[in-house]
């Protein structure tokens, strides 16, 4: 701050306010650090990286920081071997405690002592803070956690500058707060924590704090944002950390509870004059609890509180105390107990020394570990600041007295010592006046007529009151300019402190200053059975027993402790940190000018600024200066011994001026010593470089000479070795030739003999193998012929039996239908009542529903069986390629033969059951004949009807049992089918016989003789009845008779279809695969591949098939093509084909439900016979023809295929979109920032003032336009529908908007005026491209660029300071949020015209809205998110894509040779055959 141009109060205040708005909370005033409380967390200022930056750096070289002050104290301690102290001062709530924590954190970092139990010294000190805060902190008017004691932390170091220990010293505890508090303040935190401790509170008989006298004087029991119960457990954890045992912890909390109970004891006048007694049972209860918690005698406690013992020569005299004296005695006991519980060392008179308790603070220091041998320390003082409230009492008087002492210490160090040194050195210096507070200190502490002396004198007289004290004080200090008498009170007085005038009320001065040392209190508590309580109050010596009620002044003891603290500080070199509280509401970003200016004046900051600027902060003795900087002028050092002259010559040679030469020292201005150090470092560096060069030359020459001599010796030796080696090689070569000649001859001879014998052995083995193989082939062929003949014989027998059984089953079913029809006719004729008919109708509906469910289950089971058969067929092809097929077929045939025998027995049992069913039907027919003969007899007819209904019910039950057995047989047949499918290829020729036998079975049934005018049965008889052998399935693909029966109610055309042979299916799959793999192109804008696939599927009637795998092959083939190496380039082609195929399916397929139910007619429902006859009469239906040529009824596989194709279209679209985003991302990353060559120079306007922004100077934006043109050409070449192009271009421009906008917000170099012009010019190119592309293909792409267009437009507007927030939000940037606008404003800078940005008022308003939104929003991100959803649905495709005429598409020549497409070649019509 000393470098400010205008060094006055407004300039200093403005500087602090601007830095505070930027979260720059630290500022230097010379060597004094000013820390403004931010009231928010700034973790980036206090991490390990920041500590490393300030390590070893001279104060002032980096930005102001508390770490710099800590490092300066540490370096001064190491270099000068002198203890240091850091005084952290300021008002309550200014952040002194947090600043102390940061200083300890840095000293621990640079001290570097290893952690003990994984905890550093700083961690150990901070872990003890909850304990100290619980017992020493309380809520005041200005601060919810104000320290009511002084804390002096000593960081102890060894000779090497390593931390060797630490200790905490406490001073000046405000003990009167235990018994006296004002609203809205609170007592010490530990009392409220204990009351909220739950079970522990119940154990000590504690309740709400409002029920205790020491706590209910203020109505504030809870603190905002603090839970007393949680704080209680933190306090207990801190006790565990510092090493307090559980027994001692219980004793401490018992003492606290006893103090609360002690405060609730009330007294009433006794029987004698001036005597007192316990008032009521409630007070007696609290007395008993206090005695129980103190573990002392209750009667002795009563005697101690209500009486006083006076020792005389004749003996002790017991004097009763009145109610007020007893209450004062009670409060004195409470304060004494709490103070001894807390204090580090309780300063008593000499005869009480040795009986004080080292409890809380002592255990803390033991836990941390002190070093008693340490020579140097760094002390950190954290003490309560200056206080001035509406009502100021004795506590504020003591606190402000302590701050006056510290201010005097500050004045002596900064002002007095510096100016006195200037005088002693006799330099040319003009004296600067400063405020000296010595007269205030004399007013307070001077003897014999200081305020403290007068207060002690008044306290010694029992009848003295605050009026007599005030009168005597005004009489003695009537002429003192620092003391004033208030106008409206005779007892209040005002002192002009260094920080301002404070008015004190003297009503409670005498009571709070009296601290009697009562022998009865010590005797009472020393007799306690609790070791901790008795240790606090040891046995008093003999001389102390002479006076049982000795007066002790709190103010005098406070003065002695303060003097000891000042002696400690005077023995060290101080460093100052002034903490400033910016506002009274404890909220961030609020700066109250008057409050801050008052604190700066009180702290002497402005005086320090003025003196530091005008003085000479750097001073050295002549000997030190010459010894250090004499190397700069070596020519002056020769023959000269006058150090003062040498100093002057050095400074003149360095061209430094405005220095002063004193008697023994030289005085330099700020920064001059740094210049000298820099010159000295350059000289020493050049000298060292010269010495190093000479030394390296000597070493290198010496090594060269040695190397040359050694090389000559090595060369001579090597030449001799080479000559000898060459001679030996020649001699060995001649000998080797002779040896090789004989070895080669021997090897060739041995090789010939081995080859000859091996050839003979191989020939014999081969001849034997061929003979054995020929024999085994002949034997296998014979065995295969035998097996085949037996297998064909067995298979024909099985088929004949099955057809015969099916024929018999059909005949039985038909006869059963006829009998039921006749029975129903007779019943309707005999029964005229309507009730029976309604009951039968209900039963018929139930049977109809059950039959429909059975039909659906059969079809689902058939669909599963078809899928299984396809999978088994694939596996069979692999099995047939094995060489051991014959042996496997033999074993399978044997197992199948055994299973068929078991199945045959089951079928025989089913036939027997059918025979029984026939007999029951015959009996029913006889009953019907009897009913026709006895029509006139109503009663007998009713009985016969009942018997017939009973028989019918039993028959139905038998039929249900048969159905269950049929299901069991069906499961076994499924297992049989899996085994028989292996021989399917060998039995394809038997399918024709199968069809012939089925036709004969239908012709043999009585359907041909049925009249056409037969009356229709009810709906329940139209459903076929299953038979025991009805649902058996063979080993090949021919449907069994039962399946035909199940499908007769719907259509006989479907039952007459046969499965396509395996070769035909493979051929169809190959046709579709070739269409998919080959690029067939387009014809008249229509995709050839999609049209051919749809024509083939329609021609093969795949859409009407209930079981087919051809759709899965199509989807699998498309997916395989998209997984290939060139898949990315074929995405537009397949997007066009798949969308066209999907459009054809949506336009031409009609879904009537997965399983169609029989339609009901107005005259009734056709029975099974009617439908068979109608089917036989309509042979065109058997051929599969239909008159409805527009749409095709789609079955379940076709519907599933349409869904899979929809998913495939969405997948291709998403993959194409993602690939485009990947390709355009590198182009966008270089377009967001203007190249250096195209940026405008700061302060220079454009050469052409009448012309707008110039186009980009490079081709980055042109590359994006070329990319879009190439994309559009590719999509048009593949005839992609305009609907997809519009959606794709829209999402691509949305991605461009997101990328450019996010990059703009994340990079500060992009938020400039010139870069805005560059991006705006590029956006104009994109807008021109969108206009040229038309709305048919570009759609709403222009609106997708709104975010980046508005942001860039905001960057390039002029006169931003005149823009209001509402104008920016509503007109300039309506789509941007306040957080995004604030981000742009905070990062913007004008690199072209050097103009200012948005006004501070607008920025502050936006910051407030951002802070409010931060508390409400789930995510505080200001970036845009990319949309990855598919922007269309199936209904959108059916509406947007026009219908496609696929009839005129011709097949390519590569498919003409396939038999499956010959009909398409002849007629060019996809009508199915």
Provide the 3-class DSSP secondary structure of residue 921: helix
Provide the 3-class DSSP secondary structure of residue 433: coil
The closest alpha carbon to 400, from 527, 555, 211, 532, belongs to: 555
Provide the 3-class DSSP secondary structure of residue 89: strand
Distance of CA 357 to the CA centre of its chain: 50
Instruction: Give the separation between CA 700 and CA 705, rounded to whole angstroms.
Output: 9
Spot the catalytic one: 27, 73, 92, 556. 92
Write the burial class of residue 1012 (CB in 10 Å: 0-12 exposed, 13-18 middle, 19+ buried): exposed
The closest alpha carbon to 156, from 365, 384, 406, belongs to: 365
Q: If you search the block for the tokens 């060269």, which residue do you land on?
A: 704
Please say if 615 is a catalytic residue.
no
1113, 1154 Cβ separation under 8 angstroms: no
The closest alpha carbon to 1282, from 1334, 1336, 1216, 1214, belongs to: 1336
651, 641 Cβ separation under 8 angstroms: no
Please say if 387 is a catalytic residue.
yes
Please say if 1029 is a catalytic residue.
no
662 is in an annotated binding site: no
Instruction: Give the separation between CA 1007 and CA 1176, rounded to whole angstroms.
Output: 10
Please say if 385 is a catalytic residue.
yes
Identify any residues that bridge with 138 across adjacent strands, giving them in sequence order: 146, 188
> In what helix (H) or strand (E) does residue 276 lie, and over which residues does it extend?
strand 276-278
357 is in an annotated binding site: no
Task: Retrieve residue 711's tokens.
Answer: 């090389």
Q: Residues, the chain, total?
A: 1473
Instruction: Give the separation between CA 149 and CA 174, rounded to whole angstroms.
Output: 6
Instruction: Give the separation between CA 493 and CA 499, rounded to whole angstroms.
Output: 16
Spot the catalytic one: 37, 73, 93, 1104. 93
DSSP output for 1369-1416 = IIII-SSS-HHHHHHHHHH-B-SSS----S-HHHHHHHHHHHHHHHHH
- Residue 1242: cis peptide before it, omega within 30 degrees of 0: no
Spot the catalytic one: 154, 231, 266, 387. 387
639 is in an annotated binding site: no
Q: Are strands 493-497 and 500-504 parallel, antiparallel or unpaired?
A: antiparallel
Contacts of 106 (CB under 8 A, 6+ apart): 51, 54, 66, 67, 70, 71
Please say if 954 is a catalytic residue.
no
Instruction: Give the separation between CA 1051 and CA 544, rounded to whole angstroms.
Output: 123
Contacts of 642 (CB under 8 A, 6+ apart): none
Task: Retrieve residue 204's tokens.
Answer: 């000590």
Count Cα atoms within 13 angstroms, Cβ side, for 501: 10
Residue 576 phi, psi dihedral angles, 5° rounding: -115, 135
Kindly report the number of other CB atoms within 10 A of residue 696's CB atom: 10
Task: Retrieve residue 424's tokens.
Answer: 């002693």
Count Cα atoms within 13 angstroms, Cβ side, for 1182: 11
Distance of CA 1185 to the CA centre of its chain: 64
Spot the catalytic one: 120, 129, 137, 147. 147
93 is in an annotated binding site: yes
Task: Retrieve residue 1243's tokens.
Answer: 């302060």
Please say if 143 is a catalytic residue.
yes
- Measure Cα distances from 94 to 140, 174, 384, 554, 1201 in Å: 13, 20, 10, 28, 74
95 is in an annotated binding site: yes
158, 183 Cβ separation under 8 angstroms: no
Task: Retrieve residue 661's tokens.
Answer: 């030469």
Tell me what percent of the chain is helix, strand and coil, each rounded to the nearest 5: 60, 10, 30
The closest alpha carbon to 11, from 605, 615, 415, 616, belongs to: 605
Please say if 1375 is a catalytic residue.
no
Instruction: Give the separation between CA 477 and CA 500, rounded to whole angstroms.
Output: 19
82, 121 Cβ separation under 8 angstroms: no
96 is in an annotated binding site: yes
Distance of CA 1027 to the CA centre of its chain: 65
Task: Retrieve residue 953's tokens.
Answer: 């019910």
The residues that are catalytic are 92-93, 97, 143, 146-147, 385, 387
Annotated binding site: 90-97
Annotated binding site for ATP: 90-97
């Amino acid at each position: 701050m000393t470098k400010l141009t205008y060094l006055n109060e407004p300039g200093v205040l403005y500087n602090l306010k601007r830095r505070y708005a930027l979260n720059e909370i630290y500022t230097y005033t010379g060597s004094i650090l000013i820390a403004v409380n931010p009231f928010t967390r700034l973790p980036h200022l206090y991490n390990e990286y920041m500590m490393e930056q300030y390590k070893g750096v001279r104060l002032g070289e980096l930005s102001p920081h508390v770490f710099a002050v800590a490092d300066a104290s540490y370096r001064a301690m190491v270099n000068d071997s002198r203890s240091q102290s850091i005084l952290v001062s300021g008002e309550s709530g200014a952040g002194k405690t947090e600043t102390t924590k940061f200083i300890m954190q840095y000293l621990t970092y640079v001290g570097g002592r290893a952690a003990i139990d994984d905890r550093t010294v700083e961690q150990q000190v901070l872990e003890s803070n909850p304990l100290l805060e619980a017992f020493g902190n309380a809520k005041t008017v200005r601060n919810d956690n104000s320290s009511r004691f002084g804390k002096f932390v000593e960081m102890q170091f060894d000779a090497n500058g390593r931390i060797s220990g630490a200790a905490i010293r406490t001073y000046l505890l405000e003990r009167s707060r235990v018994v006296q508090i004002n609203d809205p303040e609170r007592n010490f935190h530990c009392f409220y924590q204990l009351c909220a401790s739950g079970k522990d509170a119940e154990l000590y008989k504690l309740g709400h704090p409002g029920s205790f006298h020491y706590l209910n004087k203020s109505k504030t029991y809870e603190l905002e944002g603090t839970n007393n119960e949680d704080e209680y457990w933190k306090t207990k954890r801190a006790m565990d950390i510092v090493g307090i045992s559980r027994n001692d912890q219980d004793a401490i909390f018992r003492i606290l509870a006893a103090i609360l109970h002690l405060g609730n004891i009330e007294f009433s006048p006794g029987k004698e004059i001036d005597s007192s007694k316990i008032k009521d049972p409630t007070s007696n209860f609290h007395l008993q609890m206090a005695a129980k918690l103190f573990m002392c005698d209750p009667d002795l406690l009563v005697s101690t509180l209500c009486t006083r013992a006076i020792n005389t020569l004749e003996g002790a005299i017991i004097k009763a105390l009145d109610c007020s004296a007893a209450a004062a005695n009670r409060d004195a006991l409470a304060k004494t107990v709490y103070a001894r519980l807390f204090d580090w060392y309780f300063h008593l008179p000499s005869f009480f020394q040795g009986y004080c308790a080292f409890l809380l603070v002592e255990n803390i220091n033991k836990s941390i570990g002190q070093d008693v041998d340490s020579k140097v320390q760094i002390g950190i003082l954290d003490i309560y600041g200056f206080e001035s409230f509406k009502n100021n009492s004795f506590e504020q008087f003591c606190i402000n007295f302590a701050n006056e002492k510290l201010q005097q210490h500050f004045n002596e160090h900064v002002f007095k010592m510096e100016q006195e040194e200037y005088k002693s050195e006799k330099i040319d210096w003009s004296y600067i006046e400063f405020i000296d507070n010595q007269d205030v200190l004399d007013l307070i502490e001077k003897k014999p007529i200081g305020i403290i002396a007068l207060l002690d004198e008044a306290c010694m007289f029992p009848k003295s009151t605050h009026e007599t004290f005030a009168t005597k004080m005004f009489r003695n200090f009537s002429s003192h300019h620092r003391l004033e008498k208030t106008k409206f009170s005779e007892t209040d007085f005002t002192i002009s402190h260094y920080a301002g005038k404070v008015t004190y009320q003297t009503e409670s001065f005498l009571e709070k200053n009296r601290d009697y040392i009562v022998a009865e209190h010590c005797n009472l508590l020393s007799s306690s059975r609790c070791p901790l309580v008795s240790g606090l109050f040891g046995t008093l010596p003999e001389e102390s027993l002479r006076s049982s009620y000795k007066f002790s002044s709190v103010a005098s003891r406070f003065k002695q402790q303060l003097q000891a603290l000042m002696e400690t500080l005077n023995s060290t070199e101080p460093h100052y940190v002034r903490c400033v509280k910016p506002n009274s509401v404890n909220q961030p970003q609020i700066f109250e000018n008057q409050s801050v200016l008052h604190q700066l004046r009180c702290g002497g900051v402005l005086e320090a600024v003025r003196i530091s600027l005008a003085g000479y902060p750097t001073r050295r003795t002549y000997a030190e200066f010459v010894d250090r900087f004499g190397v700069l002028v070596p020519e002056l050092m020769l023959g000269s011994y006058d150090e003062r002259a040498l100093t002057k010559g050095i400074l003149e040679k360095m061209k430094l001026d405005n220095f002063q030469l004193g008697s023994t020292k030289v005085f330099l201005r700020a920064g001059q010593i740094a210049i000298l150090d820099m010159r000295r470092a350059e000289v020493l560096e050049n000298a060292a470089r010269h010495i190093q060069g000479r030394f390296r030359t000597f070493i290198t020459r010496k090594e060269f000479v040695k190397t040359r001599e050694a090389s000559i010796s090595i060369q001579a030796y090597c030449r001799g070795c080479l000559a000898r080696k060459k001679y030996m090689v020649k001699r060995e070569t001649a000998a080797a030739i002779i040896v090789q000649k004989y070895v080669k001859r021997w090897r060739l001879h041995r090789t010939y003999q081995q080859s000859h014998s091996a050839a003979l052995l191989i020939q014999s083995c081969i001849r034997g193998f061929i003979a054995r193989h020929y024999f085994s082939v002949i034997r296998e062929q014979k065995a295969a012929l035998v097996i085949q003949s037996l297998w064909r014989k067995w298979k024909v027998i099985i088929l004949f039996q099955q057809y015969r059984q099916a024929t018999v089953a059909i005949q039985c079913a038909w006869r059963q239908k006829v009998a039921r029809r006749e029975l129903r006719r007779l019943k309707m004729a005999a029964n005229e009542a309507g009730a029976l008919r309604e009951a039968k109708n209900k039963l018929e509906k139930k049977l109809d529903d059950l039959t429909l469910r059975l039909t659906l289950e059969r079809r689902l089971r058939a669909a599963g069986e078809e899928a299984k058969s396809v999978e088994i067929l694939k596996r069979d092809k692999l099995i047939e390629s094995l060489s051991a097929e014959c042996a496997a077929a033999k074993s399978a045939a044997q197992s199948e033969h055994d299973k068929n025998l078991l199945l045959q027995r089951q079928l025989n049992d089913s036939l027997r059951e059918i025979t029984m069913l026939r007999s029951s039907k015959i009996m029913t027919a006889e009953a019907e004949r009897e009913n026709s003969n006895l029509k006139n007899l109503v009663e007998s007819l009713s009985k016969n009807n009942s018997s017939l209904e009973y028989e019918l019910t039993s028959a139905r039950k038998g039929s249900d049992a048969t159905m269950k057995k049929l299901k069991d047989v069906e499961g076994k047949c499924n297992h049989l089918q899996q085994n028989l499918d292996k021989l399917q290829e060998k039995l394809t020729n038997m399918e024709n016989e199968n069809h012939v036998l089925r036709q004969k079975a239908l012709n043999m049934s009585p359907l041909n003789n049925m009249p056409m005018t037969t009356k229709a049965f009810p709906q329940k008889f139209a459903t076929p009845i299953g038979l025991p052998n009805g649902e058996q399935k063979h080993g090949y693909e021919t449907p069994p008779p039962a399946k035909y029966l199940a499908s007769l109610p719907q259509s006989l055309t479907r039952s007459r279809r046969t499965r396509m042979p395996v070769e035909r299916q493979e051929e169809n799959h190959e046709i579709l695969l070739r269409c998919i793999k080959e690029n067939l192109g387009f014809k008249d804008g229509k995709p050839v591949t999609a049209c051919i696939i749809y024509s083939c599927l329609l021609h093969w009637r795949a859409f009407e098939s209930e079981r087919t795998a051809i759709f899965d092959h199509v989807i699998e083939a498309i997916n395989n093509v998209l997984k290939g190496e060139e898949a990315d380039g074929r995405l537009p082609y397949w997007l066009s084909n798949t969308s066209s195929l999907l459009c054809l399916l949506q336009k031409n397929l009609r879904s009537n439900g997965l399983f169609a139910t029989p339609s009901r007619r107005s005259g009734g429902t056709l029975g099974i016979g009617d439908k068979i006859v109608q089917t036989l009469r309509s042979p065109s239906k058997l051929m599969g023809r239909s008159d409805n040529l527009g749409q095709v009824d789609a079955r379940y596989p076709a519907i599933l295929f349409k869904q899979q194709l929809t998913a495939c279209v969405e997948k291709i679209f998403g993959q194409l979109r993602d690939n485009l985003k990947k390709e355009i991302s590198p182009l966008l990353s270089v377009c967001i920032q203007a190249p250096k060559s195209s940026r405008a120079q700061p302060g220079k306007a454009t050469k052409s003032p009448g012309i707008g922004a110039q186009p980009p100077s490079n081709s980055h934006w042109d590359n994006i336009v070329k990319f879009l043109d190439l994309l559009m050409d590719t999509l048009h070449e593949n005839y992609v529908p305009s609907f997809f192009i519009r959606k794709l271009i829209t999402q691509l421009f949305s991605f461009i908007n997101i990328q450019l906008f996010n990059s703009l917000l994340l990079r500060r170099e992009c938020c400039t005026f010139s870069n805005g012009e560059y991006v705006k010019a590029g956006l104009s190119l994109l807008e021109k491209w969108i206009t040229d592309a038309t709305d048919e293909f570009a759609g709403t792409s222009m609106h997708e660029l709104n975010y980046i267009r508005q942001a860039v437009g905001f960057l390039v507007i002029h006169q931003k300071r005149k823009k209001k927030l509402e104008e920016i939000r509503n007109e300039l940037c309506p789509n941007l949020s306040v957080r995004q606008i604030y981000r742009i404003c905070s990062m913007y800078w004008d690199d072209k015209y050097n103009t200012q940005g948005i006004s501070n008022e607008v920025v502050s308003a936006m910051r407030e809205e951002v802070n409010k939104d931060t508390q409400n929003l789930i995510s505080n991100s200001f970036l845009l998110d990319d949309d990855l959803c598919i922007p269309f649905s199936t209904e959108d495709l059916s509406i947007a894509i026009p219908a496609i005429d696929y009839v005129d598409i011709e097949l390519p020549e590569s498919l003409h040779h396939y038999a499956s497409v010959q009909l398409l070649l002849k007629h060019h019509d996809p009508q199915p055959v």
